[in-house]
Structure 1
């Protein structure tokens, strides 16, 4: 892209500082650093704050920690609050259990394109492999031949081939908030994440649906922006069906703006 864009890496976390440590260590290894790193903390205890404070001492870019009280799974609220705390042009979003390839940010900057949001992919680590990495305290890395991984094809980073695997569509139901990216002003236009979605599930695809209804398209990327997902137990999914109904209504009714979203947080920073 001709004009340099400013990039915020947003990391959503909750009470897993051991995993967050690996993620932040992988940020430090980036060939191209984001302009700032923002932790969206859905009510973790003090151990997460202590970890972030330790990293802040020598972190090469601003490291911001946004926290609210633990009142159940409220990922939409904390993401809206955290993103309201940045003025960066572009948002790259991951979860606090996603370890980044050293070219992760570089690749996301390269694939950013007006009129699109980005859908990335991930490599899944087994429970045993994840425990090994967490025990070491520093991600040792894996190869395509390593034991304890799934989605091996997602490990391949071949930038020269990546353009041939880009798929542009009007699809929204295949997005995962653990590796996605979007323009900040597009996020503002749709009023961010929908705070009506509470509990686990579908906040990411509902946002994507409103991007689509606004007129954007999805840009699915492969062979770039590689990341590794640490294994964890399933979250409580008792509201999943309710959240999915909200998504389907958004999609079928062409809704692109949610009344309960980002705007109330944005006002705190203007």
Structure 2
């Protein structure tokens, strides 16, 4: 099974990032390294990373660029360039991982396949208490869980809901795994997609166009998302058109991506 580089995207929510990192420390199988893809956060995020890094059990890298608006695709490309392992598990900095998350992703990995996981959500009204107590242990039975089915971990039965397909729909970077070589093959994320929306589906479309299948999973690789308000979606329609274009034109890479970052 491959060693894993975890890449965490974050922007100015250090309280959430702290819990995410604490949940990685509690994994039954640790990743080989953790790389934080920071889209221009301020000093509070840097301080949290510095404190946790003191006793973090694996190398913890902080890849940062200046805040010039939502440029998540660019910082993710830069973070993947810094990775030293060949299998990437990508998450957002506002999720808490169930303790078998890394181990589950190891068992899900296979050549010419990328993995699309799911997530349960924790209601916003619970967050003040969670941040105050640094609580990172959640389950199907926990109070305030939304999409409760996604919080169930039953690895012996997960194969029943595991599905491979050749489409890029419903792919989210909060729970996404891929081979670094496949990421380089498609030239990574499209740097032209700035602002919120569909950047993960556009990447996935190019994976599929290179005969890299999507594996959708349930009952494994469980994570809990800390709910928050919506970001600006001004660029979402344009990004949706880019996804449609990638699918219809069978695009296999992008002209401004990983190699240009």
Q: Secondary structure at the match of 1:78?
A: helix
Kindly state the Cα deviation for residue 155 of structure 1 after the two structures are TM-superposed.
1.2
C-alpha RMSD of the superposition: 1.0
Matching residue within 125, 133, 158 for 1:128 = 125
Query: Which residue pairs with 1:184 in the alignment?
Result: 180
Alignment TM-score, normalising by the size of structure 2: 0.98
Report the Cα distance in structure 1 between the residues aligned to 2:140 and 2:160, rounded to whole angstroms.
21
| Structure 2 residues without counterparts, runs of 5 or longer | none
1:243 aligns with 2:222: no
Distance in structure 1 (CA, Å) of the matches to 2:139 and 2:33: 29
C-alpha distance in 2 between matches for 1:130 and 1:250: 38
Question: Any idea what the Cα deviations from partners look like across 1:33-66, whole Å, max 9, x if unmatched?
Answer: 0000000000000111111111111111110000
CA offset digits 1:61-108 (Å, max 9, x no partner):
110000000000000000000110012110000000010000000000
* 8 Å contact kept, 1:25–1:138: no
Deviations 1:158-200 (CA, angstroms, capped at 9, x unpaired): 1111112110111212111110100000000000000110100
Is residue 61 of structure 2 the alignment partner of residue 64 of structure 1?
A: yes
Secondary structure of 2:214's match?
strand
Query: Are 2:221 and 1:218 aligned?
Result: no
Question: Secondary structure at 1:196's aligned position in 2?
Answer: coil
Q: Tell me the number of residue pairs that the alignment of Structure 1 and Structure 2 aligns.
A: 261
Tell me which of 187, 193, 196 is aligned to 1:197: 193
Give the structure 1 partner of residue 227 of structure 2: 231
Structure 2 distance, partners of 1:12, 1:162, is 27
| 1:13 equivalent in structure 2 | 10
Output the TM-score relative to the length of structure 1. 0.94
Q: Which runs of 4+ in 1 moved over 3 A?
A: none
Cα deviation for residue 142 of structure 1 reads 3.0
1:29-108 matched pairs, under 5 angstroms: 29-108=26-105
Distance 2:21 2:120 in 1: 18
